[in-house]
Structure 1
């Protein structure tokens, strides 16, 4: 009898367990799976990286005077912010939502299946997020960021954030190099979800080294700065524009179109700045008293002339001064879009299917030029400076389109490039090279897509007009600033100022002038 009872009990237990298992299975949320194929997670994360850069650039571009509002006294032109708004919080959203737990899910799938290249990409994405988030917000949540048991989160110091970038980059390199050693430079499996490098593991390695170079350069005011390390990382990074980090935009409709293209129409409400006009027309770099429209061949690609043929820009926060001929809007449109046709309908990166650019070869060369200049190696700095300008001219001439990492337009002739490179806007020898030459040529090369890096440079040098020679401090500063200039974006309102008030208080983010506090990388 005992044996029968034990057997029935065991069967009943198995039956209950089986029923519970079925009950649990049918109540799993299919919209939030706990196991997802890595290749399906990567495309939306790459799109999120581009989105984070694009959305915040609208406001950062005003801080850095790349463009301004058509209307006078715009709050961002005054170096202020909009309280109770997520404006300026998109990179925060990218780090913790677009990447966030998706990175963890991708890592879990890749680890279980020994997909070393996907694991390497995981750590590359994390490193990129911490670097860009740290640059914009200074204090970030790292240690507790993805702890599901917490509802509020403590901020880590910027030193910790910057160190996390290096740590994650090293992990990325370890796994990417292991993948290359195991079965080659390219991977058809990685290519399934990789709309940045299409499965080319060697290009991902270069991207990681570019992040490391940027991380070290941004410590230029710290005792930890090492110019030789910037050069070492850069030498293992991009060797041409074919290595640039950029995300494919199909341009078939608004959802997959380039942010700066005509379908999205995000930028026509802005006006090109007087500063960028003067950098390109020779009045700053060539010392010309008047505009020379033939000097920089990028001028008609990046900017728009008024109807009378003169290039004009806005001075923050005065709005568009050209009331009689108010045609200083950007981008320089060449006609209606030809979405998804593969044919450019506009100039530079203003097409619907222009790629979303994250980092470039000329940008990295300017990293090297600045680092070596600070070290005292003016010959090395001059070589990198020229490489950066050449790369920037090539990029403007051949911006990447669709699935191509290099473009096909050829907007600038080789003779025009040579004329510029041998002309008065470019320093012809190392002895005459100044830091302002490097930083301002870099500023031009970052036009539109690289506003966050341009703003980081301005902040690292505390808006020094000896370096940014055409920059003019806004005539009216946002009242809460107390006369000080802007140095930080505030954490995203709808996550931090709604749910994480105690932690915000500890870092001073409830102060009206918090956005004027100098970040760690600016301070000595």
Structure 2
């Protein structure tokens, strides 16, 4: 793993601030200040978190059949990978570069100045990185990751990485609670300077940490150490509505600060909505039948596109789009949906340039609870959480957050249509009707576009089981290196690990052509 420290050109002059110091000092690099204010470090780290999620989602979304490529036999639709490429390695970059030493620098500044909320946020970011990194790559470098004496690094076991998530979350909670206790303020004025996720609200950061803990416990649902009551306990201390969702501000003034799924970045036109996603939303899977003139799910016209004949169609991996002449099945990133006209534009859901970059949501957490309690045998509790998750997802799609607001400004779905859907055949009307497939497929819908990594984690935990993910169809052609097996891992980032850290890769089998089909620790019994 090549070690790089993220620096800011605006801060270069800090090392030359004192005229009493020598102009040249071999112990102080003017291009890499050793002391940087925490409020300056936090914004690019938050942006890096969103970037890591988005960039890898392009490929993970194909693995989980949220969308597919417009052309046939795409390697990702075949559940393969791109040899010699960093594709699928963005979360690795996020953990070790975008967060990386910057978390250490933030801890250094915050500790020296008793900024307990910044210390807590730093540990929260670290925990989030280990959780998401291990879920994608399995083995990660933890103990040696930031050792300046090393040029190559040994991997830690996935079990150790999962334990590190819990440890870092506890540190985050300790310091965030201490910050509130010390001054009695929910919002830290100093934290608000650099916080483009919660604008200094320490209580919301605490809820975010509990959401990470709930996810961490849920993901080991196949193990004997799984404790469903702990998922519920963590979730109860986590988000209480969509106003608590973890999301990063995107101003949309240019490509660099625009939402990844908006028209300026133009990423969505590279994909086509999947047939599986269409059938989940039009009622054929959840309701058992559908007429596409009477939409089964009011989220459908907000998430997907109609063909010219007004029908909804999707691609089947890896066959590509049969309607390439008019791109019938493209996902609707609406042109013209910019900051200036966001309030009145035709763009919907999170397809505006200034839509917030979403990391975790209240409906997602409610589905954590529903699944955990269902596995425990508390079907009534599971059903209550299932209903909350669906209602909250409908609210989120109807009223998505934009720019600096944690909540949206307009409703795209009427309450009458929400009520009709909740009382309709796509939603189970009693606890006795509830199946695990109902929970997981409604959760899959709620994760559309922004939550591909979690959707893929779910599919892998259930080993692509079509009794749980009803209507999912294994790709008709599997990538040759897979030897007929389905994909379960992303490979570590090529331009760090496969260039600089080959001996460590060999130890974990990551040089094998079918390494990406190895089942990760977190899904194993």
Tell me by how many angstroms 1:331 deviates: 2.1
Q: Secondary structure at the match of 1:521?
A: helix
Contact 1:281/1:292, CA 8 A, preserved across alignment? no
> Using the alignment, how far apart are the partners of 1:412 and 1:201 within structure 2?
32
1:306 aligns with 2:307: yes
Q: Give 3-state SS (helix, strand or coil) of 2:22's partner.
A: helix
8 Å contact from structure 1 (residues 139, 156) kept in 2: yes
Deviation for aligned residue 1:522: 1.4
- SS of equivalent residue, structure 1 residue 297: coil
Q: Deviations over 1:398-427 (max 9, x none)?
A: 000000000012000000000000000000
Give the whole-Å Cα distance in 1 for the aligned partners of 2:69 and 2:341: 32
Measured at CA, do residues 450 and 293 of structure 1 come closer, stay the same or move farther in structure 2, by a change above 3 Å? Answer: farther
The C-alpha deviation readout for 1:26-85, integer Å capped at 9, x for no partner, is 883333110000000000000000000000000000000000000000000000000000
Aligned equivalents of 2:301, 2:493: Cα separation in 1: 36
Supply the distance in 2 between the matched residues of 1:433 and 1:122 (Cα, whole angstroms): 40
Aligned residue runs from structure 1 range 18-57, under 5 A? 22-25=22-25, 28-57=28-57
Q: Deviations along 1:366-423, whole A, 9 cap, x unmatched? A: 0000000000000000000000000000000000000000001200000000000000
Correspondence for 1:371: 372
Residues in 1 aligned to 2:133 and 2:219: alpha-carbon distance in whole angstroms? 13
Which whole-Å deviations, capped at 9, do the CAs of 1:121-165 have from their partners, x for residues lacking one?
000000000000000000000000000100000000000000000
Structure 1, unaligned runs of 5 or more: 1-17
- For residues 52-63 of structure 1, what are the structure 2 equivalents within 5 Å? 52-63=52-63
Structure 2 vs 1, CA of residues 403 and 506 (structure 1 numbering), >3 Å: closer, same or farther?
same
Q: Which residue of 2 aligns with 1:285?
A: 286
- CA shift digits 1:86-132 (9 cap, x unpaired): 00000000000000000000000000000000000000000000000
Correspondence for 1:122: 122
CA–CA distance in 2 between the matches of 1:373 and 1:512?
38
Matches within 5 A, 1:69-468: 69-183=69-183, 184-288=185-289, 290-291=291-292, 293-323=294-324, 325-333=326-334, 335-340=335-340, 342-343=342-343, 345=345, 346-468=347-469
- Distance change in 2, residues 1:326/1:293 (3 Å): farther
Provide the TM-score with structure 1 as the length reference.
0.95
* TM-score normalized by the length of structure 2: 0.94
- Aligned CA RMSD, in angstroms, stands at 1.5
Q: Distance in 1 between matches of 2:512 and 2:158?
A: 19
* 1:21 positional shift: 5.5
Q: What secondary structure, in the 3-state scheme, does the structure 1 residue paired with 2:126 have?
A: helix
Contact map agreement 1:342 1:402 (CA 8 A) in 2: no
Which structure 2 segments of 5+ residues have no match?
1-17
Give secondary structure in 1 for the equivalent of 2:322.
coil
For residues 332 and 153 of structure 1, the distance between their equivalents in structure 2, rounded to whole angstroms, comes to 41
Shift of 1:343: 2.7
3-state SS of paired residue (1:186): coil
| Larger gyration radius, structure 1 or structure 2 | 1
Separation (CA, whole Å) in 2 of partners of 1:351 and 1:375: 40
Q: State the aligned residue count.
A: 506
The separation in 2 between residues aligned to 1:423 and 1:294, in whole angstroms, is 11
Query: Contact 2:343–2:409 at 8 Å: present in 1 too?
Result: no
In structure 2, what is the Cα distance between the partners aligned to 1:485 and 1:232?
34
SS at match of 2:524: coil
* Counterpart position of 1:520: 521
Q: Deviations over 1:450-492 (max 9, x none)?
A: 0000000000000000000010000000000000000000000
Q: Report the alpha carbon displacement of residue 291 of structure 1 after superposing the two structures with TM.
A: 3.4
User: Is the partner of 2:118 in helix, strand or coil?
Assistant: helix
Q: 2 CA distance for matches of 1:204 and 1:508? A: 37
Question: Separation in 2 of the partners of 1:43 and 1:213?
Answer: 25
Q: Give the structure 2 partner of residue 8 of structure 1.
A: none
Rounded to whole Å, the distance in 1 between the matches of 2:107 and 2:31 is: 19
